[in-house]
Structure formats: C-alpha cells, structure tokens
Amino acid sequence: MNFLTILPMAVVMVAGTQLVAAVFLASADRPRAASLGYLAGAALVVGGGVTASWLVTRSIKISVAGADHGGRNPIETRIDQVVLVLLVALAVIVFLRRHSAGPPAWMGRLQRAGPGYAVKLGVLLFLGMPADDLTMITVGATAARHDLAWWHLLPFVLFTLGLLALPLLSLLLLGHRAEAVLPRIRDGAAHHSWLVSEIVIGFFLAMTVVDLLR
C-alpha cells in the first residue's frame, strides 16, 4: 500500500456540507480572502488529525512489536480490525445522512464572511463532523499500519484541500462565467456526493479485508 491507495478518501472528507460551504464562500463579498481562510482552517484540522492518528497508531505498533518475541506482529491484525469497524461506521453515517446533505440555512450568512470567520468555519466543520473524524483516524491508522512514512499523508491532505479549492479556482479561471459553474458544483456536492463517498469507502473496506485475510 502507498499514498495512492489512501488518496481517494479525500473525496469522503469534502463530500457534502464541506464543499457546499466552499462554494458559498467563493460567492462571498470577499471570495479570495474567505476561501483562503476556509482552506487554512481545513488544513489545520485535516493535517493535524491524520498526523495524530498516524503517531498514536505508530507508537502502539512499535511498543507491541518491541515486546513481541517473534512471529507475525498481531497488532497489525488488530489495527486492520479497528479500521474495518471504522469504515463500516463511516459507511453507515454517510448513508444515513444522504438526504440531509443540502445546504443548511446558516450558509446564507456566508455572503459576508471574512477570512477570520472562514478559518473558524473550516476548523469547526472538519472537526465537528463525525464522518470526517472517522476518515482522518482511518487514513492515519492505515498509513501507520503499513509502515508508511509521515510524508505519505501529505498528498492526502493536499488533495483534500485541492478539492475544497475547486470553487475558488473556478472563480479565478472563469471570472463571471463561474456564476454558472458554481451552482453545479454546489448541487452535485449536496445531492450526489454521498454515493461517490460510499464507493470510495467500499474500495477502502475491500482493501482492509484483503489485509485481514493475508
């Protein structure tokens, strides 16, 4: 396993409310400042979340391996089992929330959002969403379980931020024509992203089952 395997989980991170919020901020009075603030808040949580999960899992694995006197390290099986449970829980959460992925009423206030508020929004949205918390734990634990160096998490974080930056990039590249593109991004994120998330989770779940059967 390498960083390419965990990369698709970035789709699960931004699906739904997170990407919808990015669209609203790209349409705000100060779109560039608000969007960059939002990305900064998201980067802080996502980068810190996967790093913390990686460090904890790696420390547990090293300590158990140090106490092991030969044979296959059983902690890898335990980690795979935990990841499997997390993935199943994540799939259930995404499925249950499939009809509630529309833009909440409070997003209407993002029109006047400044960079400071956007930073807080990025932190709260990614920290307060159970699906995102489970995804960060899963990605970090999986990377540590397969002895991937910390830098393998960076492409995941960057890809997550890249997906969140799509509305801002559309604005910068298309100018006024982005007014026709941004609603499509918003509607797709609000109504169809749950299915894409389930497909990605299913793929990752299958990879975890393969590890357990080895």
**Range 180-183, long-range pairs (CB < 8 A, 24+ positions):** 182/23, 182/26, 182/27, 183/23
97-153 pLDDT per residue, tens: 776 645 555 666 777 788 898 999 999 989 988 889 999 999 999 999 999 999 999
Structural domain for 115, as ranges: 3-213
The domain tally of the chain equals 1
5-38 pLDDT per residue, tens: 899 999 889 887 888 888 888 877 888 899 999 9
**pTM metric for this prediction:** 0.84
